[in-house]
Structure 1
Amino acid sequence: MARRVIRTTWRALSGAAVTGTPQPPDLSSRRFLALPDGIRVDLVQFGDCVLAFVCFAGGVAYMEGPAAASGPVDARLLVLVSLSCSLPLALRTRWPLAAWRFAVVAVLAGAWIVGDFLHPPYTPGAITVAVLVTYSAAVRCGGEVTTGVWLISIGAAVLVDTRTALPAAVALTVAVLFGHNVRARRLATGKLANEQRRAEDALAEQAVLGERARIARELHDVVAHHISVIAIQAEAVPLQAEGDPGRLAGGLAEIRALSLRTLAEMRQVLGLLREHGDAGTSAPQPGLHLLEELVATATHAGFDVTVAVSGVEPGSASEILGDVPATVGLTAYRILQESVSNAMRHGAGTAIAVGLTHSGDGLHLRVRNRLGGSRSHRPEFSGTSCAHGLIGMRERAAMLGGTFHAEREGDEFVVTAMLPIEPDARR
């Protein structure tokens, strides 16, 4: 037991005096003053430098009277002693343990130099600096090194002046305890922040995986429909051909085209499947043919929804939207549905503008609604459900190799998406 105590004490003393290293400073709570040319001034370090200068000037003035009364003393010696005892304060932010070591040596050397005419043999500024650098060392060093700092500080206080050793020891002990408490609180806060970040990351990942599983279930019926049609056609084409090679070749060509579309959609679906499958039920899936129903629902709720549809060739909206693969139609409908729902829940006003453009490279979607002035009206800041909705829309677009953006433009919130359409996937 005694050997363990001796070893622990020796490690604490050697760590404080020689081998110990402090942790990097926590800059998250620092305040900086921005100056021209991109210069940033650390206000804490600036305050330390100002206080160090005050302690230096005050120390010289404090020692001049007793020095003159005791006999001729070189003024440069007083300046050197006061500077040595004040300088550690300017170094404690960047090198707290080195600043504390410097302060201990400076106070011991200064007491030996001025002890003949100054009682106690240090200035008020010197003890102030010693307490502050001791606090900084306790904040930035581990418990073992902090114990060594405390023991050496108490020993130095006794060596400097036994008459003032008790109040000096009390002040140094308070500084060590306070610094250690601040360090423990910062560590606990950091661990809590890390746990919170991990929990948020886990929730986001869970939301993404859940959305991918839901998308896979929704696309199940689309792929199953194509496979069923292929099976029916494969059985019916030979009967319909009745030995006619032309009709047989045409029927087989239709089966081949539908098979290619199905394979393309299955490749997209397989990319969403997780290692642990989801045995959820499936139901007939919506598409752009339900856009009018979506608009009617919003209109009945008191919103003014305008829909503008355009394409590369003249035609009605039904013709333009009808020339869209089932997977693209499903994804487009879900993005429009979520965007309109967000606008109804979080937007300001009743106007919602929906735009669809069927161009050569794909289907372009755009939904706009007016926002209020506060952050609470912005969908990206309106709770977990809306954040997951944005994640789901982004995942849907990415699944098809498209793009998705949701951002504020002036006083409006705009959702845009581009869903590519492969040439061999057109109906």
Structure 2
Amino acid sequence: MARQAIRTMWRALAGAAVTGTAERPHPPHRRVLALPGGIRVDLVQFGDCVLAFVCFAGGVAYMEGPAAASGPFDERYLVLVSLAYSLPLALRDRWPLAAWRVGLVAIPTGAWIVGGFLHPPYTPGAIVASLLVTYSATVRCNGEIAAGVWVISAATTVLVDSGTALPAVAAVTVAALYGHNVRARRLATGKLASERRRAEDALAEQAVLAERARIARELHDVVAHHISVITIQAEAVPLQAKGDPGRLAEGLAEIRALSLRALSEMRQVLGLLRDHDGAGPSTPQPGLHLLDELVATATRAGFDVTVNVSSVVPDPASEILGDLPATVGLTAYRILQESLSNAMRHGAGTDIAVELARSDSGLSLRVRNQLGGSRSHRSDFAGTSSAHGLIGMRERVAMLGGFFDVECIGDEFVVTAMLPILADTR
């Protein structure tokens, strides 16, 4: 433990005195004054130079009186000492650790020269410079080097003048601690900003994924339903026509109408991707007001669809499904559309039962049809199936905070959904 402490202290002292390097100034982009002729002046460095000049001139004036009173003394020494005391101020922004090292040499040397007539053996400018370069070194270096800077600075103040050692060490300690705390706060602020940027990027990525899932749902609901009906009708029309050109032409016209409708809805969905102004398509979204059209399409494909609508809301029967919020109406329509498509593709018979119940709190849907295949196949399809249609229905209902379930009851495949109706969804 003692060896480890000694090694740590040695690294701190060596880093501060010889091997250590400082970080870049903060903030990296600072205020710059543009002068005529393309000259650009960093205001921080300019301020340091002005302060260094003031400390230099003030130091010379401060030492002239005691020097003259003590007898003949060459003023060139005073100028050099004052210059050595103030020079670190001009260097501390660009090279803070080098500026501190210059001060570490300059203050004891200057004190040795002027100690015979000046007490304490340094000027007020030297005090200012020493504290500022100590702050700059600790704010721009890691904790280990900062500790070495503090130890060496405190020891130097004691060696220069033991009479003022206590207040000098206290002042150096305050400067070093303040610089270290400023550095810690800046690092914490930078880390917080980085975490905030990462969180914003994650939210943006999540929004992109959610939008991709929404578009995939819309495309699947549009394409799967119409293609299923078109496929079934393409197989059924020749059998139903039995050589009758009129019935064959009527069936082909129905297939063409379904194809055009599918293309129209696909263009509407793809138009959202190309819309940069946020205006969106002017065509209204489908809802339960198109329920009769949806049932008629399945009926023309050869299926017998029974619809039962009930309500406890004291509204006329025509308004039971017509005044639903747009999001609820669209979700219910897509669920019925996908359920009818699944019944037509996977069902064993032609009977499909649709039940709709409206209440003050929500709209419930229930679609039943005969399902062929083995029992294990039915269970897989109803329970853990990864079919895009079932996933899309679950996601739509989840966005509204409703309930969705698919199950096999006997030989029937049952889709059940409960969609809440809230005032803010209207």
Report the TM-score when normalising by structure 2.
0.57
Q: Return 5+ residue gaps in structure 1 as ranges.
A: 263-283, 288-325, 342-427
Alignment deviations for residues 188-239 of structure 1 (CA, whole Å, 9 cap, x no partner): 1111111111111111111111111011101112221452255235425765
The answer as to whether partners of 1:218 and 1:285 remain within 8 angstroms in 2 is no
Q: In the aligned structure 2, how far is the partner of 1:334 from the partner of 1:138?
A: 54
Which residue in the other structure is 2:214 paired with? Answer: 214
In the alignment, which residue of structure 1 is the partner of 2:106?
106
Aligned to 2:24, what secondary structure does the other structure show?
coil
SS in 2 for 1:46: helix
Q: Specify the alignment match of 1:73 in structure 2.
A: 73
Q: Shift of residue 337 of structure 1? A: 12
The residue aligned with 2:267 is 328
Residue 416 of structure 2 corresponds to none
Q: Distance in 2 between matches of 1:16 and 1:338?
A: 59
Cross-structure match for 1:9: 9
Q: Are residues 206 and 5 of structure 1, via their aligned partners in 2, closer, same or farther at CA, if it must alter by over 3 Å?
A: same
Secondary structure of the structure 2 residue equivalent to 1:10: helix
1:130, distance to aligned residue in structure 2 (A): 0.4
| Counterpart in the other structure of 1:185 | 185
**Could you tell me whether the CA contact under 8 Å between 1:286 and 1:333 is conserved in 2?**
no
CA distance in 1, matches of 2:276, 2:17: 67
Q: CA deviation at 1:21?
A: 1.3
Deviation per CA, 1:66-109: give whole Å up to 9, x if none.
22222332222221111111111111111111110111101111
Which structure's CA Rg is the greater one?
A: 2
C-alpha distance in 1 between matches for 2:89 and 2:189: 27
Report the counterpart of residue 200 of structure 1 in structure 2. 200
What does residue 134 of structure 1 align with?
134
Q: Partner of 2:64 in structure 1?
A: 64
Aligned-pair CA distance for 1:57: 0.7
Retained in 1: the 8 A contact 2:215–2:269? no
CA distance 1:89–1:340, change in 2 (3 Å): same
- Alignment partner, residue 25 of structure 1: 25
Structure 2 gap segments, 5+ residues each? 281-426
Letter in 2 for 1:166: L
Map 1:15-414 → 2, pairs under 5 A: 15-27=15-27, 30-36=30-36, 39-232=39-232, 234-236=234-236, 326-332=265-271, 339-340=278-279
Cα distance in structure 2, aligned partners of 1:3 and 1:336: 69
Change (3 A) 1:338 1:107: same
The amino acid that maps onto 2:269 is L
**Which secondary structure state, in structure 2, belongs to the residue aligned with residue 33 of structure 1?**
strand
Report the Cα distance in structure 2 between the residues aligned to 1:30 and 1:88, rounded to whole angstroms: 21
> Residues of 2 paired with 1:181 and 1:196: CA distance?
22
- Alpha-carbon deviations, 1:369-398, whole Å to 9, x = none? xxxxxxxxxxxxxxxxxxxxxxxxxxxxxx
- Per the alignment, residue 291 of structure 2 pairs with none
* In 2, Cα distance between equivalents of 1:47 and 1:157: 26
SS at match of 2:197: helix
Report the AA paired with residue 137 of structure 1: A
Structure 1 residues 226 and 43: CA distance shift in structure 2, 3 A: same
Once residues 151 and 219 of structure 2 are traced to their aligned partners in structure 1, the CA distance between those partners, rounded to angstroms, is: 71
SS for the counterpart of 1:330 is helix
Distance 1:138 1:218 in 2: 59
- Residues 135 and 241 of structure 1: is their aligned pair in 2 closer, same or farther, counting only changes over 3 Å? farther
Shift of 1:184: 1.1
Contact kept, 8 Å, 1:285 with 1:330, in 2: the verdict is no
Q: What percent identity do the matched residue pairs reach?
A: 69
Measured after TM superposition, the shift of residue 179 of structure 1 is 0.9
Structure 2 residue identity aligned to 1:209: L
Q: Quickly say closer, same or farther: Cα 1:169–1:285, change in 2 above 3 A.
A: farther
Residue 26 of structure 1 aligns to a residue in which SS?
coil
Is residue 25–residue 93 contact of structure 1 (8 Å, CA) maintained in 2? yes
In 2 relative to 1, CA 330–155 (structure 1 residues): closer, same or farther, beyond 3 Å? same
Contact preservation (8 Å) 1:34, 1:40: yes
CA distance in 2, matches of 1:179, 1:172: 11
Query: Quick check: 2:85–2:106 contact (8 Å CA) kept in 1?
Result: yes
Change (3 A) 1:38 1:231: farther
State the alpha-carbon separation in 2 of the partners of residues 82 and 130 from structure 1.
13
**Residue aligned with 1:71, SS:** coil
Give the superposition deviation at 1:122.
0.9
Task: Give 1:44 deviation, angstroms.
Answer: 2.0
Cα distance in 2 between the residues matched to 1:285 and 1:159: 91
1:26–1:337 distance in 2 versus 1, CA, 3 Å? closer
Look up the match of 1:403.
none
